[in-house]
């Protein structure tokens, strides 16, 4: 079964700083990849997704992620964060034609200081 690793569980940074969150997965086959965000008191919502094609995908609110197949990675980036980006970020992976399980990482708690 696929597994997902997210490092640096707690991230604190100032507004306008750049953000990069790492995501690595373990599965040798074809995958669909997702980043979800959970703002304080809100439900999980999709930030961006990769199914196929251009490995650099752009999502909402200025976020982007790059799929590097050789590294089994799908890192999330934002060049300049805002206070409103304070949230928990989850990477998720679904193996195509595998066990049909959408597997999540443990999440990154990001706090942006004004």
Partner 1 sequence: GAGVSQSPSNKVTEKGKDVELRCDPISGHTALYWYRQSLGQGLEFLIYFQGNSAPDKSGLPSDRFSAERTGGSVSTLTIQRTQQEDSAVYLCASSPRNTGIGNTEAFFGQGTRLTVV
Least separation in angstroms between residue 17's CB and partner 1 is: 24
Residue showing tokens 């074809």: 30
CA 110 to chain centre: 12
User: Which CB sits closer to partner 1, 45 or 84?
Assistant: 45
User: 3-state DSSP call for residue 62?
Assistant: helix
User: Which CB sits closer to partner 1, 17 or 32?
Assistant: 32
Least separation in angstroms between residue 15's CB and partner 1 is: 25
Distance of alpha carbon 97 from alpha carbon 2, whole angstroms: 12
Least separation in angstroms between residue 93's CB and partner 1 is: 10
Residues lying near partner 1 in the complex (CB under 8 A): 6, 9, 32, 34, 36, 42-46, 49, 51-52, 90, 92, 94-107
CB 91, CB 74: distance < 8 Å = yes
């Amino acid at each position: 079964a696929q597994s997902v690793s997210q490092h640096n569980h707690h991230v604190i940074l100032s507004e306008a700083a750049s953000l990069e969150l790492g995501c690595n997965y373990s599965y040798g086959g074809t995958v669909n990849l997702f980043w979800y965000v959970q703002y304080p008191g809100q439900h999980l919502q999709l930030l961006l997704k990769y199914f196929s094609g251009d490995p650099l995908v752009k999502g909402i609110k200025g976020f982007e992620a790059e799929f590097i197949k050789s590294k089994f990675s799908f890192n999330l980036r934002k060049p300049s964060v805002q206070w409103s980006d304070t949230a928990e970020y989850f990477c998720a992976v679904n193996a195509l034609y595998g066990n049909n399980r959408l597997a999540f990482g443990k999440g990154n708690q990001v706090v942006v200081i004004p």
